[in-house]
């Protein structure tokens, strides 16, 4: 009795000292305040209840001595540790009221959390010492009346992913649903009126029996926790919409048994016929004792942990209930406490949402889900498969669990395979010398995908894209490593897989999404007032917006938003971001003002982080007259050479018939395609890290330039897609082929010269020339002048199409627009727009609102306007178009060179080819065999991408799902195959003839005919075959 009273007094005194110190200010107030509140709610209160139950008087309250937070902080950890040990010893007294266990649990957890790092005094050491103190106590779970679940010596507490949670030997688990530190109790039950009384309206206790083929299934609806495992995974036998609930003859014995054993509540049982009472023979399993806090649901107890009342008697159970596994209420609303009755579904009980982006491991459902899949795979499908059974005939009993642990580690979960099973060398040893065949590999991959479906792993496109990518990659690596004579590196790390180009869940707006979520009301700054990121911009970006763009940058991060202001402002202005609803003009104006005024981080000063704002960020569109050549001033005068101060007259292009219009569109497509390759080559040539000779500030600038060039390249891809829709609308096939680079001007009108260049002044001048607005006459970069004279313009009576002179890309498209208008008037829109709109590409596949089916002249004009305005700017306003963006990059680059003469921002890249160009032009060739092979792998991937895009741009009888697959795989090829290969190539040698120089992507086409595969079934087979060959 005295020990109880003095323990209560000591806990009360420590809480009072903390509270007094906090009142004096200073120190870690939040951390100490949480300790004080926990002592009051979870230690002093239950100890007081125990003392009252024993009839003892309350201890005299001592006034805490004066002292500040700094004096107390160093002592709190030691004081808590002393109290925890005293409480644990007191808990051993069988005469103590059960409330002491609640206080002991809180003190043990507080003492371990406050433990110093390292040594015997660390948290793990303290938990071990406490476990030794109470080792004589039996493992059990006791529901405290109207309070938490008191778990004693339960060694394994895991979350719903199967990840161990730090567990002291005495636990108090919340079951009122109100704790702020779930799954642990924080004393909320004493304040929220929690009652553990059973509801008289609960489902009645009744055991039903269902006879099957050699097996009897039992079910008690009064015990069911409605997890849905049986109905989701074996709906033929367990039916939610029919009576009787169980159709025992509707599935095989092994399927029924698997479903019965998966039932977490113990409501289902099974026995061989004639042995109904011997349910433990089939339904119960031999498992280590464990408690799982399931996701937004009950505690799932396994391993035959006794469940006892406060007085020591077993908790009464329904008929047929399992003693080996059962589910306990965690939401506080069960009708059948302490057991779960499924009410968590109806009260919308939720655990705190994690802040971080989920890993593939977490999204899959963690170790339980992966283990469920692998056990299904190796237990059901492998033994009956003639290809797989011989391969796994001698597998160890724990093989399914080891494969699950491997997948868990690969997908971002705990390092279980490395810690318990030997890591990568162990996995490699499982494959060496096995001689796996391609047929076995393919069957393994396809069957595992089937088991993922049956095991209930997520089926969303994002997860399955990443999951399938790893299964294909990993199985092909196993195939390679198992070959006779293979000698793979033995000590590589376990690979780690992420979401890939599809991004994590939430990165797109699904078709079934509700109406757009609106950003919270934000007070926008008045006109002329300073705009800051923290006060004005961050609140405008919703959680959905951040998630959707997380694959590229974090909209909640000032450095990320400042570094990517070019793309963000462009997308906000165009209405393509946010992806579900455009910003109103007043919000767009705030973002424009923030960019134009120096991009303040907070309200104190511009760029509080100390970095100069990205010079390449576009200014807001200025009001007033349209800018012409005379508007180009300042550094532009030294960046580009102007021949005249007045707009240049450009000859008209005559388009009198459908064929010339199609021909000019195909010419434009070749040009867009080639420009995209030029821009990608320049972007990939830039250095990527400070260890390549750049400072942090220089690297940030280089990353900005790379982002600008890649953004322009992506817009060229959009222009190419729009061009395909225009051609399809005319009844022709899209044109995605082009001559290989370098390409002299004789294949294009005078003034156009196409070649691959690494980033630099020459490349940027060349880009400015190619993207110059209509009427602006500037020189192409040195060495890239046109080599032929202009070609003649067609006359009105010519029918056969041929190349006509165009001076700029805008000139070409404006002439095409005039051709659409003229032919619409001449032959009528119905005759002109013959192509089926359903065969055209749709913008929602790529997040491009400008990409729409074209069925009229107005549609065609809008599409052409989108191309010209992104490239040259609306009505000559080039500032925010491609020309202006390249100019901004050139200005910043030249300024950096002036400040740091001799600076090299690119890798030593040479534009080199794998094979000589068919034009006969001189070219540098890649002679290093390994580099040439990787370059050709990139070219093969590029060719497959064109096949995919051709099919996507003129699909005929594909379903919507198949069209989406084409789009997803195309994007995956761009960002997960071609881009990484290009980056690798810029680090590999060209050959001994060019010492110290590296290669880059050559974008070579193996043959010039278009890549259209006209027949759907054959097209898909050929694309799959080509992908398989490339992967091999």
Q: What is the pLDDT of residue 1017?
A: 62
Q: What is the pLDDT of residue 552?
A: 62
Q: Is residue 804 part of a domain?
A: yes
Q: Looking at per-residue confidence, does 1011 or 337 come out higher?
A: 337
What is the Cα–Cα distance from 364 to 219, expressed in whole angstroms?
29
The domain that holds 426 is classified in CATH as 1.10.490.10
Arithmetic mean of pLDDT, 167-192: 94
Instruction: Kindly state whether residues 806 and 895 are assigned to the same domain.
Output: yes
Average pLDDT, the chain: 81
Q: What is the pLDDT of residue 426?
A: 87
Instruction: Kindly state whether residues 938 and 794 are assigned to the same domain.
Output: no
Final residue before a domain boundary, out of 107, 136, 165: 136
Q: Is residue 239 part of a domain?
A: no
Per-residue confidence at 49, pLDDT binned at 50, 70, 90? very high
Arithmetic mean of pLDDT, 351-367: 84
Q: What is the pLDDT of residue 807?
A: 54
Please determine, for residue 752, whether its predicted confidence score (pLDDT) is greater than 90.
no
Instruction: Kindly state whether residues 680 and 610 are assigned to the same domain.
Output: no
Q: Is residue 523 part of a domain?
A: no
Q: What is the pLDDT of residue 782?
A: 46
Per-residue confidence at 510, pLDDT binned at 50, 70, 90? low
Q: What is the pLDDT of residue 118?
A: 61
Q: Count of domains in the chain? A: 5
Please determine, for residue 48, whether its predicted confidence score (pLDDT) is greater than 90.
yes
Per-residue confidence at 636, pLDDT binned at 50, 70, 90? very low
What is the Cα–Cα distance from 397 to 415, expressed in whole angstroms?
21
Q: Is residue 202 part of a domain?
A: no
Q: What is the pLDDT of residue 422?
A: 86
Arithmetic mean of pLDDT, 955-965: 81
Arithmetic mean of pLDDT, 782-809: 42
Arithmetic mean of pLDDT, 22-38: 75
What is the Cα–Cα distance from 907 to 688, expressed in whole angstroms?
9
Please determine, for residue 334, whether its predicted confidence score (pLDDT) is greater than 50.
yes
> What CA–CA distances, in Å, run from 997 to 415, 524, 764, 863, 910?
40, 52, 21, 42, 6
Instruction: Kindly state whether residues 824 and 863 are assigned to the same domain.
Output: yes
Per-residue confidence at 172, pLDDT binned at 50, 70, 90? very high
Residues whose CB is less than 8 angstroms from the CB of residue 621 and which lie 6 or more positions away in sequence, other chains included: 592, 877, 879, 880
Arithmetic mean of pLDDT, 712-735: 87
Q: What is the pLDDT of residue 880?
A: 66
Express the helix, strand and coil content of the chain in percent, nearest 5 each: 45, 5, 50
Which is nearest to 645 in space by CA: 531, 745, 775?
775
Minimum mean pLDDT among 614-628, 672-686, 847-861, 938-952: which range?
614-628
Sign of the dihedral defined by the CA atoms of residues 353, 357, 362, 363, in that order: positive
The domain that holds 782 is classified in CATH as 1.20.1260.10
According to DSSP H, which parts of 598-736 are helical? Answer: 636-639, 658-684, 696-729
Instruction: Kindly state whether residues 761 and 681 are assigned to the same domain.
Output: yes
Final residue before a domain boundary, out of 883, 900, 917: 900
Per-residue confidence at 581, pLDDT binned at 50, 70, 90? low
Q: Give the model confidence (pLDDT) of 416-441 as tens digits.
A: 899 888 888 888 888 888 899 999 99
Q: Is residue 823 part of a domain?
A: yes
Q: Looking at per-residue confidence, does 778 or 352 come out higher?
A: 352
Q: Is residue 293 part of a domain?
A: no
Arithmetic mean of pLDDT, 551-562: 75
Q: What is the pLDDT of residue 769?
A: 77
Q: What is the pLDDT of residue 1030?
A: 64
Instruction: Kindly state whether residues 579 and 683 are assigned to the same domain.
Output: no
Per-residue confidence at 924, pLDDT binned at 50, 70, 90? confident
Q: What is the pLDDT of residue 112?
A: 92
Q: What is the pLDDT of residue 550?
A: 63
Instruction: Kindly state whether residues 608 and 670 are assigned to the same domain.
Output: no
Per-residue confidence at 70, pLDDT binned at 50, 70, 90? low
Per-residue confidence at 225, pLDDT binned at 50, 70, 90? very high
Q: What is the pLDDT of residue 370?
A: 95
Please determine, for residue 513, whether its predicted confidence score (pLDDT) is greater than 70.
no
Per-residue confidence at 362, pLDDT binned at 50, 70, 90? very high
Q: Is residue 174 part of a domain?
A: no
Instruction: Kindly state whether residues 884 and 933 are assigned to the same domain.
Output: no
Instruction: Kindly state whether residues 886 and 936 are assigned to the same domain.
Output: no
Arithmetic mean of pLDDT, 747-770: 74
Q: Looking at per-residue confidence, does 72 or 122 come out higher?
A: 122
In eight-state DSSP terms, residue 241 is S
Per-residue confidence at 58, pLDDT binned at 50, 70, 90? confident
Residues whose CB is less than 8 angstroms from the CB of residue 467 and which lie 6 or more positions away in sequence, other chains included: 360, 364, 449, 452, 457
Instruction: Kindly state whether residues 694 and 595 are assigned to the same domain.
Output: no
What is the Cα–Cα distance from 110 to 39, expressed in whole angstroms?
9
Instruction: Kindly state whether residues 852 and 925 are assigned to the same domain.
Output: no
Please determine, for residue 558, whether its predicted confidence score (pLDDT) is greater than 90.
no
Sign of the dihedral defined by the CA atoms of residues 75, 78, 82, 87, in that order: positive
Q: What is the pLDDT of residue 870?
A: 77
Final residue before a domain boundary, out of 852, 880, 900: 900
In eight-state DSSP terms, residue 287 is -
Percent of the chain with pLDDT over 70: 80
Question: Strand locations in 174-257, DSSP E?
Answer: 207-211, 215-220
Arithmetic mean of pLDDT, 92-118: 91
Q: Is residue 255 part of a domain?
A: no
What is the Cα–Cα distance from 32 to 79, expressed in whole angstroms?
13
Instruction: Kindly state whether residues 887 and 756 are assigned to the same domain.
Output: yes
**Structural domain boundaries, residue 393:** 360-502
Arithmetic mean of pLDDT, 824-848: 84
């Amino acid at each position: 009795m005295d020990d109880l009273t003095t323990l209560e007094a000591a806990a009360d005194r420590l809480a009072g000292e903390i509270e007094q110190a906090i009142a004096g200010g200073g120190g870690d107030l939040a951390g100490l305040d949480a300790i004080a509140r926990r002592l009051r709610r979870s230690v002093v209160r239950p100890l007081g209840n125990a003392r009252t139950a024993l009839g003892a008087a309350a201890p005299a309250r001592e006034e805490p001595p004066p002292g500040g937070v700094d004096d107390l902080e160093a002592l709190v950890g030691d004081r808590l540790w002393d109290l925890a040990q005293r409480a644990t010893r007191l808990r051993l007294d069988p005469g103590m009221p059960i409330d002491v266990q609640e206080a002991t649990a809180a003190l043990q957890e507080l003492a371990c959390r406050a433990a110093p790092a390292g040594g015997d005094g660390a948290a793990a050491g303290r938990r071990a010492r406490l476990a030794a103190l109470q080792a004589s106590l039996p493992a059990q779970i006791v529901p405290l009346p109207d309070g938490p679940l008191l778990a004693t010596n339960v060694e394994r507490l895991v979350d719903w992913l199967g990840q161990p949670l730090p567990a002291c030997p005495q636990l108090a688990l919340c079951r009122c649903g109100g704790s702020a530190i779930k799954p642990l109790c924080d004393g909320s039950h004493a304040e929220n009126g929690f009652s553990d009384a059973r509801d008289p309206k609960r489902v009645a206790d009744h055991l039903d029996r269902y006879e099957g083929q050699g097996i009897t299934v039992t079910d008690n609806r009064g015990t069911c926790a409605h997890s849905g495992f049986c109905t989701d995974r074996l709906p033929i036998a367990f039916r939610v919409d029919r009576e009787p609930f169980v159709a025992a003859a509707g599935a095989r014995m092994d399927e029924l048994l698997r479903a019965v054993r998966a039932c977490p509540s113990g409501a289902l049982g099974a026995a061989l016929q004639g042995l109904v009472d011997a349910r433990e023979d089939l339904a119960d399993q031999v498992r280590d004792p464990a408690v799982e806090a399931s996701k937004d649901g009950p505690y799932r107890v396994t391993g035959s942990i006794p469940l006892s009342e406060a007085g020591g008697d077993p908790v009464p159970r329904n008929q047929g209930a399992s003693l080996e596994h059962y589910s306990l209420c965690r939401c506080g609303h069960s009708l059948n406490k302490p057991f779960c009755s499924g009410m968590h579904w109806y009260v919308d009980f939720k655990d705190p949402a994690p802040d971080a982006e989920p890993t593939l491991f977490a999204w899959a459902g963690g170790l339980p889900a992966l283990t469920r899949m692998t056990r299904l795979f190796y237990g059901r499908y492998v033994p009956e498969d003639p290809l797989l059974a011989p391969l796994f005939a001698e597998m160890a009993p724990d093989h399914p669990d080891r494969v699950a642990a491997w997948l868990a580690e690969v997908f971002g979960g705990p390092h279980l395979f490395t810690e318990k099973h030997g890591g990568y060398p162990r996995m490699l040893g499982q494959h060496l010398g096995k001689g796996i065949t391609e047929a076995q590999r393919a069957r393994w991959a396809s069957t595992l995908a089937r088991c993922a479906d049956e095991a209930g792993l997520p089926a969303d496109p994002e997860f399955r894209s990443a999951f399938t990518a790893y299964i294909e990659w990993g199985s092909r690596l196993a195939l390679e490593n198992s070959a006779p004579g293979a000698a793979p590196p033995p000590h590589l790390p376990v690979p780690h897989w992420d979401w890939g180009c599809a991004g994590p869940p939430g990165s797109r707006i699904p078709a079934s999404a509700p109406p757009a979520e609106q950003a919270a009301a934000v007070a926008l700054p008045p006109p002329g007032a300073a705009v800051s990121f923290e006060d004005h911009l961050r609140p405008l970006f919703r959680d959905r917006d951040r998630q959707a763009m997380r694959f590229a940058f974090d909209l909640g991060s000032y450095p990320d938003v400042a570094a990517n202001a070019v793309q963000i402002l462009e997308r906000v202005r165009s209405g393509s971001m946010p992806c579900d609803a455009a910003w109103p003009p007043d919000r767009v104006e705030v973002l424009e003002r923030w960019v134009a005024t120096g991009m303040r981080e907070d309200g104190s000063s511009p760029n509080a982080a100390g970095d100069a704002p990205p010079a390449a960020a576009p200014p807001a569109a200025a009001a007033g007259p349209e800018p012409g050549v005379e508007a180009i001033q300042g550094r532009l005068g030294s960046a580009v050479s102007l021949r005249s101060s007045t707009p240049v007259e450009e000859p008209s292009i005559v388009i009198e018939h459908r064929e010339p219009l199609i021909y000019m569109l195909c010419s434009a497509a070749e040009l867009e395609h080639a420009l995209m390759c030029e821009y990608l080559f320049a972007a990939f040539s830039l250095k990527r890290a400070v260890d390549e000779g750049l400072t942090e500030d220089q690297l940030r600038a280089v990353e900005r330039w790379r982002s600008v060039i890649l953004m322009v390249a992506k817009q060229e891809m959009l222009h190419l897609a729009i061009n395909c829709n225009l051609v399809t609308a005319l009844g022709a096939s899209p044109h995605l082929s082009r001559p290989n680079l370098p390409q002299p001007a004789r294949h294009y009108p005078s003034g156009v010269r196409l070649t691959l260049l690494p980033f630099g002044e020459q490349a940027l001048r060349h880009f400015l020339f190619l993207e110059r607005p209509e009427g602006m006459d500037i020189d192409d970069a040195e060495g890239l002048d046109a080599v032929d004279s202009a070609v003649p313009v067609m006359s009105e009576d010519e029918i056969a199409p041929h190349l006509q002179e165009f001076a700029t890309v805008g000139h070409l498209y404006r002439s095409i627009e005039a051709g659409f208008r003229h032919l619409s008037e001449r032959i009528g829109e119905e005759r002109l727009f013959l192509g089926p709109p359903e065969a055209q590409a749709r913008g929602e596949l790529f997040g491009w609102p400008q990409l729409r089916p074209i069925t009229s002249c107005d549609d065609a004009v809008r599409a052409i306007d989108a191309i010209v305005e992104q490239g040259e700017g609306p009505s000559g306003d080039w500032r925010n178009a491609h020309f202006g963006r390249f100019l901004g990059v050139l200005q910043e680059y030249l300024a950096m060179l002036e400040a740091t003469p001799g600076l090299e921002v690119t890798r030593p890249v040479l534009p080199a080819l794998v094979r000589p160009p068919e034009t006969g032009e001189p070219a540098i060739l890649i002679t290093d065999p390994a580099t040439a092979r990787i370059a050709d792998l990139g070219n093969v991937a590029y060719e497959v991408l064109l096949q995919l895009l051709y099919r996507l741009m003129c699909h005929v009888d594909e379903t919507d799902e198949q069209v989406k697959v084409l789009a997803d795989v195309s994007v995956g090829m761009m960002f997960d195959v071609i881009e990484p290969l290009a980056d690798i190539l810029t680090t590999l040698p060209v050959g001994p003839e060019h010492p110290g120089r590296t290669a880059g992507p050559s974008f070579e086409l193996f043959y010039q005919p278009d890549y259209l595969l006209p027949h759907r079934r054959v097209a898909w087979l050929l694309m799959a075959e080509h992908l398989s060959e490339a992967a091999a």
